[in-house]
Structure 1
Amino acid sequence: MSETANNPSVVSRQPSDDPVEPLPQAVVRARGDFSLVWLIPLVAVVIGGWLAVKTFAERGPVINIEFKTASGLAAGQTKVKFKDVDVGQVTAINVSADLKTVIVTAELKPGFAEFLTENTRFWVERPRVTLSGVSGLDTLLSGAFIALDPGTEGQARRDFKGLEEPPLFTTAEPGQRFILRSPTLGSLNIGAPVAYRQIQVGQVVGYALDADGQAVSIEIFVSSPHDRLVSANTRFWNASGIDFSLSAAGISVDTQSLLSVLIGGVSFDTPETIDAARPAEPPVAAVTGSEPPLFHLYSSREAAYAKTYSRKERYLLFFSGSVRGLSIGAPVMLKGIDIGRVLDIQLQFNVADDQFQIPVLIEVEPDRIAIQGDERLEETQMVNRLVDSGLRGQLKSGSLLTGQLYVDLDVYPEAKTEKVAHYGGYQVIPTLPAQLEALTTKLTNILDKLETIPLDQIGRDLAETAAGANALVNAPELKQSIVELEGTLAAVRATAGQLNDRVAPELVETLRQTTVAFRSMDQTIAASSPTMIEMERMFREISAASRSLRLLTDYLERHPEALLQGKGRAGR
C-alpha cells in the first residue's frame, strides 16, 4: 500500500501545468559568544545585590548590653524605647562566659548610631515602688522594655553595661549637676529631694566614697531654671530627718518636709551678708565636658549660715577647778559673740606642787573682730595689750537645763595684773575662777571668818546682860518708880482738865479781840481811808519842803556870801 493511502493528511499532488517552486533552504550562520538570554539572570543578580546592599546599609547598629538578670526580657519581643518610641528590638539573649551576667543583643534603628557613646545609658523599665515615688506602672500591661538615654559626648561604643536602677534624670532634661563633699553620707539616699526654701527643685542622683576614704562625694541634679539659683556663695546643708542637737545654747530641733524626714534631703540657699559693697556672685554655669561644680555639704542650717574665716589662731587657758560640762567644740565667746571653739581638753598633774591643772586649747578667728582706727598691731601685740587691760578667760554656764559650759573672754579692769605666758608653743591667756567656784570661795572665806568670832564668849556676855536686865526689871525701886509715875500722870491729867475748862475759853476770847483789832487796823491803813489820805498829803508837803531845802543848799554852796549880804547882793 502506498503512503498516500495510509496517511489521509498527505495531499496527493497531481502533475499540472504550473511552474515548480523551489524548496526553501536553511541558512547557516555563526553564533556569537554572548546570548541575550543571559541578561535575565544577570539582572536578577544585580537586583539581588542591590537589595542586599540596601538592606545592609539600612540596618541599624547592633549593640550588646550587660545586665545582671534577664527578668521580663524576651528575644524578638522586648522593645528598646526612647521617650516611649520604639527605636530597636532585642534579637538575642545569652549568658556571659563567667555565668555572672546576661548579654542582651539588640538592633537599633540606623538613626541612633551617632548617639551610642560611652555616656549612653540603658536600663530595664519595670514597675518600681520606692519612698520617693512609683514608676513604670505602664509596663504592667505592655511588659518590660529597655529604656535608652542617648549621649552625644564621648567615644563611640557598641558594648554597654546596663543600669540596675533607672536614672533620676536624663541628658535631655534641662538642668545642672553638682558635687557635694561631706564627711559622712548621713541619711541621704538616691532619690532624696533637693529643696530651695522648702520647694523641691532637684534630687540626689548618686554618691561614692572618695579614693582616700576621707569624705563622701554626693552628686545632685537641680532642674532648670532653678539651677540659676546656685552661685559661688551658695551653701548646701543636710536637711535629713529630724535635726536634734544639744549644746551650750540649749536644745535645738529642726525638721523639714515629711519626705525629708523619711528618706533625707538636701537644702541650699545663698546667705545675705552685711557687706553691701560686695557685688553679687553670678550663677554657676555648666561647662560641657568638665566635672560638675564642687560645694561643701554642711551638717545643718546653722553651720551653713555661720560665717567662716580662713585665718585661725590658737591659745591655751589653764583652769584649776572643775570643767564638767565643757566639751570639745564648745563655743568661745567674746562680749557674747561667738569667735571660736574649744579644740582640746586635758588633765595634767604637776609633780612640783602636787596640783592638778586643766589646759584647754581654743581656736579663735581674729577676723571676726573689726579693728577701728589707723593703728595696725600684730596679733601678738594685740593679745599682750588686751591682757594688760584685763582680758581673762572664764568658764560660764550656757544653759541651766543642760549644764553645758563655754569659754567666755572678757575684759576685767579690776583683775590682778598678769602677763601673757607661753606653753608648748601657744600663748597662754590668764583665767579667772568660774562664777560658781568664785561664789564657793567667797562662802568659804566667810565661814572661815565666822569661825574666828568668839561665839562662846559672846553667848556668856549675852547671858549676863539678860540676867542684869531681869534683875533691873524685877527691882523694888523700879516698881516704886512706876507707882510714882502713875501718880504724876494722874496730876498731869487733872491739870489738863482745868486748862481745858478755864484757860481755853479765855484764850478763845483773847484771840477774838485780837482779830477785831487787826480788822480795825486794816481799815485804818486802807488806801481810801482818811488817815491814809492825810498821810499822803503830809508826805507830799514833806517832799516839797525837802526839795526847797535842797535848792537852798545848792544856792548857798554857790553863793555862801548870801548869808551876810542877802540874795540880791550876792548875785551881783
Structure 2
Amino acid sequence: MNEHFSENQAQIVKTRSISPIWFLPVVAAVLGLWILFQNITHANVQVKIHFQKADSIIVDKTKIRYKGVIVGTVKKIELDSASGVNVIAEIESHATFMLREQTQFWLVSPKASLTSISGLDTLFSGSYINLEPGDGEEATVFDAIDEEPISIPDNALLVSLKSDSAGSVSVGTPIFFKKIKVGEIVQVRLDDSGRHVNIKAFVESDYSHLVKSASKFWNISGLRANISRAGIDVNLDSITSLIAGGITFSSPQKSTAASAETQFELYENIDKSEAGQTIELTVNNINNLPKGAGILFKGHGIGRITDIEYSLEQKQFIAQATINPQFSEMITQGAQFWVEKTALSFSKIKNLGNIITGDYVAFAPAADAEVAQKASSFALQQSRLPVSPALDLMLLTEDATGLNAGDPVSYQGIKIGSIRSLDFAENGRFIETSISIDSSYQYLINKNSQFYLLSGVNMKASLQGIEMQSTPLEHLLSGGIGLYNAEPVKKSAKNTLLDKNLRFRLYPSRALAEVGKNVFSKPLILSVLSKQLPAVSEGSPVYYHKLPIGEVIGFSIDNSGLMKTELSIKGQYRHLIKEQSIFWNISGFNVDAGLGGIEIQAESLLTIVKGGIAVDHGKKDIDNKYANGSYKLFSSYEKAAKPPTVITLLFDQANELQVGSKLRLKGLVIGRITELTLSSKGKVQAKVNVKAEFAAQTARKGSRFWVVSSDISLAGAKNLSTLVSGVFINVEPGKGAPATEFTGEVKAPIIERSKTGLPLILLTDNAGSTDINSPVYHRQIQIGEVMSKQLSSDASGVEIAVNIYPEYSHLIRENSIFWPASGFNLNVGITGVALKSTSLTSLIKGGISMSTPDNKPLQEMSDAFARFELKKEFNESWLNWKLAIPKP
C-alpha cells in the first residue's frame, strides 16, 4: 500500500521564471525617461530683449507674435544697468528655431497719421511684440528695433530715391504713374552725412516693368496755382497727394528695365526733372506772349514756354519750351504751333482773357504723327495753316444779305470751313457762294447735306413775353453758314460726292433746310368759304400745328353768295393739304366768365392782333367742302373736326334761357344753346349743339332735360352761381334709341332715376308741414324723400307718397313706425321752458322720421306701395331702439 501511495503523491518542482509584477517598475522607468526627454527637447526658452522703454508692455499679458500667431509671453521686466529696460520673455518650444542672431523684435502699438493707420487691433488686445526671423547662430539676447523693418509685397521692385529734402514725403506716401497708384514709400532716412535724404519705395510687380533705368521721379505733392489766360489755374493731382504727398515718374520706352540696385534722384517738380521733351519755337514777334505761356492741345495744357531769347544771327526770337512726356510722341515733323491772340472787332470777339494773362500757344499734331519722325524745332505761326487740301463747294441762294468772304461755315457749333467768295450766277437768278470745308470735316458732306444762313436774330412775341433767339455774336455781326444733316454722319463715312459740278441750295433758316428742296416749289393757291368774313387781313398767317405754312392773300364774294378767303400755301408745305383737310378761324380770343373767374383763350399774340387760319387733317368722309368743291372755313376746331349734334328742346316758357346758355352733364359743359324760337304750337324751341363725344349718351329717348336756376328759401339756397353765369340746362341720359327732339322741364325731376327705390304710402289726418321733397330720416340720416301728397279717396285723410332710396330700402320692415319730424315741441314747467326739435332743417323744411321696434324679432322687408300710419306724435323711447338690420 505504501508503494502504491508513493506513486500517486504530488511532487513540487522549482522553476526560475521572472514574476510579471516586475514589469510595472520597468514601464514606469521608461515613461519617466520619455517625459524627461520631452521636457528637455521641447522646453520653452527664455530670451532677453532690450527696449529703450517699456511703454504698454505688461507682464504675463503682452504677447510675442509671428505672422499673427502667439509664440511667446513677457514674463518679467527689469531695468538695464546702462539704459533702457530688459524684457524677459518665454518663447514656446515650437518657435525656438527662429531665435537667431539677426532675429528682430519690435513693439506694435496703435499709430495714426495722414498716410496710414496701423495697429488698430491693439486697441482691444493691447500692444504686442512682433518677431521677424533672421539668420545667424542661435541666440537668446536681442536689441529691439524702433520700428517695423521694411517689408514689400511679393515680387515687388524695391526702389532707392535720393533727395535734398524729404518735403511732404513720408512712410506711406503713394507713388503714381499716370495718376494710378503703383506703389508707396516704405522708409525715409537721412544718410550718414546728413546732407541728403535716402528714400526706400516699392513698385508693385504688375507695374515694376514701367521703371526704367532712365526714368525720372518727381514730387507732385500739394497744391500748385498758375495765373493763365483763363484766370487762376489751380492744379491738384489728387486729394491724396494734397494731404499725404505723392510721387510720379516717367517711363522712357527705349530705356532698359531698372534693377533693385539702381538709385534715382527725386526732383522737386517736373520742370526740375527735365523729364519733358525740350523743343525750340522760332517767331518774328512775341507781342503779348509771356515767358511761362502755356501750350494747349484741344484746350488741355501739354507744356509751357520756359525761356525766350532773341537770336542776332537768325534775327528771330527763340522760345524754349518743355512738353509733358505723356504727349512727346505727338511732337513730330508736320506738327503745328501757332499763337492764339485776342480778337476784338465787329466781326469777331475772341480770347479776351489774353489781354490780362497774355497770349498762349496752340498745338495740333501732324496727320501722320504715328509714323512721322521726331522733331525738336518748329516755327511758331501767327495762325493755324490748313493741314491738307480743302473741299470746295458751290451754294446757290436768292439773297446773300449778311454774308462776307471769310465768314465761317459751322456744323453743330463747330467751325468746319469758311466762305471763299460770293458772285452772281450766269442766269442772274441766284447768287453763287463758294465755300471751303476743312479736310478733317469733309466726311460730313454728302449729297443729302443742306446749308442755311446763320446770320440774323429771330424774335417771337406772345402774351408770356418776348423770346429772342440769335446765332453767336460772330455770326450775328459777320454772318455765317450752317450745315444740316438729317442723319448723323460717322467719321468712317466716305464722301458720296460723285459730281464735281453738284450745287447745293442755301436756305434762309434751318427750319427750311430741314424741309428740303421743296422750299423753291411754287406755292399752292386755294379758297375757303364762310358765311361771314373772318377776322383776318391780307398777310395773316396760315398755321399747321402752330407752324406758319402760308398766308391770306385776298378776299372776294363767291358766286354762291358766301365770303371767299384766298390762301397761299408755301411750296414746301403744299403736300400738307389733303382732300379731307379742315380749315378753321383762330383769330381774336374767346372769353368765358363765371364764378371761378374769367378764362381767356387765344392762339397767340399774333392771332389776336393780325388774325389767322389753321389747317389740319380731318377724319375720313368728313363734311369739309361745299358743293362747288371749295373748303369750308369753320369758326372753331371743334366745329371743324368734331361737328356737334343738334337737338331740339321744347319748353312751356324760356325761364331766362338765352343763346349761349350751357348744357351740362354731371357738371361738364357738353353743349350750348345756339337758337331760341317759338314753335307753331306756342312752345319755346331751343336748338342745342351737343359736343360729338357726348351726343351718343344724351341724344337718346328717355333722356331728361331741365332748367337749373337759383333757388332761395327758408330751407336753404341752391345754384347761386347761376345769378352770375346765368341759368343752364341739366341732362340725365336715357337708354333708348337715338333721338333729337325732347320735352324740357322747368324744374329738376322729383326723384332722379338713380334714386328710385322703395315707394310707400303714409296715412295721416293732415299733411302738417310736410311738403314735396321733404326728407325721410332714420337716426337723423336722410334715407328718402316725399314724392307727393293728396287727399284719400273719401277725403277722410291724407295720403303721403314717399320714396326710400335703394341703398336704404332694406331698413323698412312690416312693423316699422313713421312720425312727423317737422315742427317743434314746447314744454312749459316750473323749471322753465324746453324747446325740442329734430333738426333745424326739419324745423324749416319739414320731414318724416322712422324706426323699427327692437322688442320683437326682425320681420320681413316691406313691399312696394305698402301703407303705414303716420303717427301724430312720437314717443322718445322710439329714439332708443337699436335693432340691427343687416343688408341682404
- Give the structure-1-normalised TM-score: 0.41
Q: TM-score, normalised by structure 2?
A: 0.28
Larger relative CO (CA 8 A, sep 6+): 1 or 2? Answer: 1
Question: If you compute each CA radius of gyration, which structure gives the higher value, 1 or 2?
Answer: 1
